[in-house]
Structure 1
Amino acid sequence: MATLTEAFTDLATSRGPMRVHTFTPAGGGKHPAVIFFSEIFQVTGPIRRMAAALAGEGYLVAVPEVYHEFEEPGCVLAYDQAGSDRGNELKYAKDLASYDEDVDVLVKWLQGHEACTGKIASHGVCLGGHLSLRAGFHEGISAVACFYPTDVHSATLGAGKSDDTLKRIGDLDAQMLFVWGRQDPHIPQAGRELIHARLEEAGRAFEWHEFNAAHAFLRDEGPRYNPALARVCMAVLLRFLGEALE
């Protein structure tokens, strides 16, 4: 376990600056990096705590503000109806090309970061689960950990609600981990089965876990939080990253 240094950096994109929050193990040296994509609410308290917990295991964790072209730097949406409405609005307002550009900017920045070994994985929850999966199309990403990723089965991410993530998933070279809640209304059984079938059809190796849990069961605020499963999922994630980034 390691103590941490927290900071943020504003990176240039074609759509304006993107604030990236970093959680770095103290003591110097180089570490594998994990790009951690948040829910639609951006870098909330629960997201920061998840990032810090991962960094405490020896990873350089970078958490981008995904709605940087729409909101002021540092914007955090509340876990209420207004925050949910705004987050969902922006999820479909942002161009798919902008999501992909963000990944490219992050990867190039991390590859030159003094605390990074050059090995990079992506990880995410909810919207971030989908973004972590798309990040795997980038040659600089060697592993993706997708926790209850939304809009993959429906192919509705981004402006126009017409993404190609599932269609292209067979071309993804990164190692893959998927974690789902079986009682998640956002990704019903038919949706999970569609994704699973596409992966099998593509002949891809992947890791797949389903738990009796609701959507956002890793978020340590609100009634859906399942702390026992959160501990199990952290163990699964750490073992996966340890193997993928060794």
Structure 2
Amino acid sequence: MLIKESYTDVPTKADGKEGSMRIFLFHPTIPNYSQARFPGVVLFSEIYQVTGPVARFARQIAGHGYIVAAPSSYHEFTSPSPLNYDAVGTDLGNDWKYAKTLAAYDEDASLTISHLLSLPTCTGRIGSTGMCLGGHLAYRSALDPRVSATVCYFATDLHNHSLGAGKHDDSLARAKEIRGELAMIHGVRDTHVPPEGRDVIRKSLRDAGVVFSWFEVAWAQHAFIRDESSKGRYDPAISKICFEILLELFNRVLKTDLGPRDVGEAEVEGGC
């Protein structure tokens, strides 16, 4: 499947501050099918904005028949250009991660979802995904009832409620608002989301009755899907497996009209 890349700038006004956010679009195209329609996926980046690895990940998803929209998360502080994978870029990304308000993060997600839904080529089914900071933002986007499927790669600041200005988010506390299905992916050797932190996330989702799948990969570290400047942590084999997890969820939920989920749990047959 071919991919057409473009971008659009949308106005923002969170916290009473008028601005503009760039959304990078990766649109699948099929020759001779100009009216083809596809589900949409919001892709939230790590702290470096839409870098080469994030764009390649977007193309990979788009190539399977999804319109991918990747917002520039730090539009309040800098241009849409990505930060460098170096000490300066890391420090800036981490500083801005905690300078930006939750309201601003949530507005970004809402605007990006709305933009996808405004496209005549979108079917109206929306998923989300992201890594690191973007994993947490993908989780928060699942609080929007328009999002039906979400895949979070090593979501940071989720277990200790520390996203955004004031470092006191309500993401896990609002888990009961999630109506779609989640897939949570972590590396066992991820020092950013330690074992006790992963336990907190899993228990919170279970207690809230969220429909979710949980994956912990034995030898994976933080940023294991980043194929550039990963400090030796990139694992292509594990990344491929995790991408299949993403496709299974997105293909089942976004490309199939399942109708509303029945109330209650289906009976599970016991025995061998």
Cα RMSD (Å) of the superposition? 0.9
Q: Distance in 1 between matches of 2:119 and 2:128?
A: 16
Q: Distance in 2 between matches of 1:140 and 1:160?
A: 28
CA contact (8 A) 2:83 2:89 kept: yes
CA contact (8 A) 2:180 2:211 kept: no
Partner SS for 1:71: coil
TM-score, normalising length: structure 1: 0.97
The amino acid of 2:244's aligned partner reads A
**Any residues of structure 2 matched to 1:1-246 within 5 Å, and which?**
2-14=1-13, 15-27=18-30, 28=34, 29-72=36-79, 74-211=80-217, 212-221=219-228, 222=230, 223-245=232-254, 246=256
Q: What is the identity percentage for the equivalent residue pairs of Structure 1 and Structure 2?
A: 44
Partner SS for 1:187: coil
**1:203 offset after TM fit, Å?**
2.4
Which segments of 5 or more consecutive residues in structure 2 lack a partner in the other structure? 257-272
- 1:38-78 Cα offsets, whole Å, 9 max, x none, are 00000100000000011000000000000011112x32101
The amino acid of 2:67's aligned partner reads L
The amino acid of 1:96's aligned partner reads L
Number of aligned residue pairs: give it.
Answer: 244
Partner SS for 2:198: helix
- 1:71-90 Cα offsets, whole Å, 9 max, x none, are 12x32101111111000000
The amino acid of 2:135's aligned partner reads G
Q: Distance in 2 between matches of 1:241 and 1:218?
A: 18
TM-score, normalising length: structure 2: 0.88
Which segments of 5 or more consecutive residues in structure 1 lack a partner in the other structure? none
- 1:166-205 Cα offsets, whole Å, 9 max, x none, are 1111221111110001101100000000111111212222
Structure ID, larger Rg:
2
CA contact (8 A) 2:181 2:210 kept: no
The amino acid of 1:149's aligned partner reads A
- 1:119-171 Cα offsets, whole Å, 9 max, x none, are 10110000000000000111211111101000000100000001000111122
**Deviating runs (4+, > 2 A) in structure 1?**
none
Q: Distance in 1 between matches of 2:56 and 2:83?
A: 16
